[in-house]
Amino acid sequence: MALAKESTPVSKNGADQEAEYRAQTRVWLRLLACTTLIEGELRRRFRDEFDFTMPRFDVLAQLDREPSGLVLGELPKRLMVSAGNLTPIVDRLVADGYITRTPSNLDRRVQIVCMTVEGRKTFRRMAKSHGAWLAELLADFPADRFDGLIGELDDLKGAVRDALQKP
Amino acid sequence: MALAKESTPVSKNGADQEAEYRAQTRVWLRLLACTTLIEGELRRRFRDEFDFTMPRFDVLAQLDREPSGLVLGELPKRLMVSAGNLTPIVDRLVADGYITRTPSNLDRRVQIVCMTVEGRKTFRRMAKSHGAWLAELLADFPADRFDGLIGELDDLKGAVRDALQKP
DNA sequence: CCAAATTATTTTAAGCATAAAATATTTCCT
DNA sequence: AGGAAATATTTTATGCTTAAAATAATTTGG
C-alpha cells in the first residue's frame, strides 16, 4: 500500500507547506518583475514617441471596438480600475478631442463615451507602434512557447479569480 | 529537401508575423491581468490589516536581509523605481520608527538606511501574512505546475532584459 | 590647486490610483 | 404620490510614480 507521502495529502506537512510558500512567492515576484519591466518600457515609449500615457491608450483601446460608444460606467469594469480614477482621464481625452461624452436621454445619470474620427486615427497609429514595441521586447522569447505560457497565465488568472470569489 | 515553410525562416511571411504579434499581445495582456489582480488584492489587505502600503513593505523587505543596512542609493536599483520616488517613502518609514537614516562619515553625499528592532518585528509579522495571502490566492493553481511557470517567467524576463540591453 | 565632471539625493510638476464621501438621478415600494 | 434604496458619476484626501531640474559633495584632470 502507498505511503502517506506518496498519496495526495489532505493537509501538507511542514516542509511541503514551506516549499509551496516559496514557490508561490517566487511566481509572484517573477510575475511582478516581468510586468514592471515591460510596463516601464512601454510607458517610456508612449511618452517619448506620442506624449501619451498607457491609461489613456487603454481607454481608447476599449472604445476602438465599440463603434457606437460605451456607457461610461462600463470603462472602470473593463479596465479594472476605480470609477473616480477615470474621471480626469476621460476629461482630458474629451478636451483633446479624442472622445466625446454625451449624457443619455433615457437616464440623465448615464453618459455615453465615443471615439471621434480623430481619436480613431490617433489610436490606430499608436496601436501599430505598441504592437511593434511588444514584438521587439519579446523577440528573444521562443515563439513556440507563447501558447504554453498563455495557457499557464490563463489558468493562473482563473485560479486567482476563483480564490477571490470564495469569501 | 525541406520546403521553406518547414525550415526556420529568416524573415516571416505576413500571416506568421501577424499570428506572432497576436500571441505576443495576448501574453502581455494576461501578464498584466494576473499582476493587476494579485497586486490589487495584496494592496487592499495591506491597507485593511496593517494600514501599510506595498512600496513601504518592499523597502522593509530589502532591508530585512541586510543586518548592517544599505546605502540609500541601492534601494532604487533593487526595487526598480526612481530615486525621487523613494525619498518620501523613506521619510515616512523613518518618521514611523521602522528604519534609521544616517549620513556616512566617509562620503557626506551618501546615507545608510537600516531597519530598527521595531521595524524588523513589524516586518516579520506582515511578511507572514503576505505569504499566507499569496498561498490563499494561488491555492487553486496546481502545485506541480509552479516550477514550470517560474521557468517560463524567468526566461521571459531574461528575453526582455536582453531586448532592452540591445540599443 | 582648482575648475569641471561625476555622483548621491531631494525637489518639483504632472499624472495615475484608491477609498470614501458627496451629488444627482432613477427605481422601488407601499 | 412620495420617501427610501439603488445607481452613476464626481469630488476629496492621500499616496505612488516618473522625469527633469536643483542641490550638495566628491573626484578628476590639467
Mean pLDDT score of chain A: 91
Residues contacting strand C at CB < 7 A? A 53, 55-56, 80-85, 88-89, 92, 107-109; B 40, 43-44, 47, 71-73, 83-84, 86-87, 90, 101, 107, 109-111
Asked if the C-beta of B48 comes within 8 angstroms of chain A's C-beta atoms, the answer is no
Model confidence at A3, pLDDT cuts 50, 70, 90, reads: very low
- Contact at CB, A152 and B156, closer than 8 angstroms: no
Q: What is the distance of C-alpha B71 from the center of its chain?
A: 20
Query: What are residue A89's DSSP bridge partners?
Result: none
Q: What is the mean pLDDT of residues A136-157?
A: 95
Task: Name the percent of chain A lying above pLDDT 70.
Answer: 87
Closest CA to B28 of A78, A130, A122: A130
Residue B118 reports pLDDT greater than 50: yes
Q: Is B46 exposed, middle or buried (0-12, 13-18, 19+ CB in 10 A)?
A: buried
The secondary structure of B21-73 as a DSSP string is: HHHHHHHHHHHHHHHHHHHHHHHHHHHHHHS--HHHHHHHHHHHT-TT-EETT
The minimum CA-CA distance between B90 and chain A, rounded to whole Å, is 21
Per the rule left: phi > 0, alpha: psi between -120 and 50, beta: everything else, A107 is beta
- Judged by DSSP in three states, B140 sits in coil
The reply to whether residue A35 touches residue B38, judged by beta carbons under 8 angstroms, is no
Q: What is the pLDDT at residue B165?
A: 87
The neighbour count for residue B9, using CB atoms within 10 Å, is: 10
Terminal Cα-to-Cα distance of chain B (whole angstroms) = 38
d(CA A166, CA A76): 22
Chain A residue closest to B150 (CA)?
Answer: A27
Residues 6+ apart with CB under 8 A from A159: B138, B139, B140, B141
**Rg (chain A; Cα; Å):** 22
d(CA A139, CA B71): 36
**Cα–Cα distance, B39 to A32 (Å, whole number):** 9
Percent of chain B with pLDDT over 70: 87
Minimum CA–CA partner of B82 in chain A: A40
| Residue B95 contacts strand D, CB under 7 A | no
Does position B136 have pLDDT exceeding 80, yes or no? Answer: yes
Q: Output the average pLDDT for chain B.
A: 91
Whole-number pLDDT of residue B3: 45
- Quick one: cell of B48? 485593511
Which of A109, A110, A116 shows the shortest CA–CA distance to A94?
A116
Which of B 6-65 have CB under 7 A of nucleic chain D?
Answer: 53-56
Specify the pLDDT at position A84.
98
Contacts of B37 in chain A (CB under 8 A): 80, 157, 160-161, 164
Q: Do A156 and B148 touch (CB under 8 A)?
A: no
Q: Indicate the SS3 state at residue A65.
A: coil
Protein residue nearest nucleotide C25, by CA to C1' = A109
User: Among candidates A143, A132, A120, which has minimal Cα distance to A59?
Assistant: A120
How far apart, in whole angstroms, are the C-alpha atoms of residue A86 and residue A62? 13
Contact A101, A113 (CB under 8 A): yes
Q: Is A149 on the interface with B (CB under 8 A)?
A: yes
Cell of A124: 490606430
Measured between CA atoms, how close is B42 to chain A, in angstroms?
A: 11
Q: Which nucleotide is nearest to B108 (CA to C1')?
A: D25
Q: Are A160 and B137 in contact (CB under 8 A)?
A: yes
Residue pLDDT, tens place only, A57-113: 999 999 999 999 999 999 999 999 999 999 999 999 999 999 999 999 999 999 999
Q: A71 beta carbon < 7 A from strand D?
A: yes
How confident is the model at residue B21, as a pLDDT? 79
Residues B148-161: what's their mean pLDDT? 97
Predicted confidence at residue A6, as pLDDT, reads 47
Quick one: closest CA in B to A153, which residue?
B30
- Our CA-based measurement puts residue B115 at a distance from the nearest CA of chain A, in whole angstroms, of 22
pLDDT computed for residue B9 by the predictor: 53
Residue closest to A119 by CA, chosen among A145, A99, A102: A99
Name the residue in chain A with its Cα closest to that of B163: A137
Which of B20-24, B106-110, B136-140 shows the lowest mean pLDDT across its residues?
A: B20-24
Confidence of residue A126 (pLDDT cuts 50, 70, 90): very high
> Is any atom of strand D within 7 angstroms of residue A111's beta carbon?
yes
Collect all residues of chain B within an 8 Å Cβ-Cβ radius of residue A155: 141, 145
For the beta sheet containing B99-103, the strands, ordered from the edge strand earlier in sequence to the opposite edge, are B70-71, B111-115, B99-103
Say if residue A9's pLDDT is above 70.
no
Reported pTM:
0.89
* pLDDT category of residue A167 using cuts at 50, 70 and 90: low
Q: DSSP state, B5? A: G
User: Would you call A20 an interface residue with chain B, using a CB distance cutoff of 8 Å?
Assistant: yes
pLDDT band at A165 (very low <50, low <70, confident <90, very high): confident
* Mean pLDDT in residue range B3-17: 55
- List, for residues A19-31, the tens digit of each pLDDT value: 677 889 999 999 9
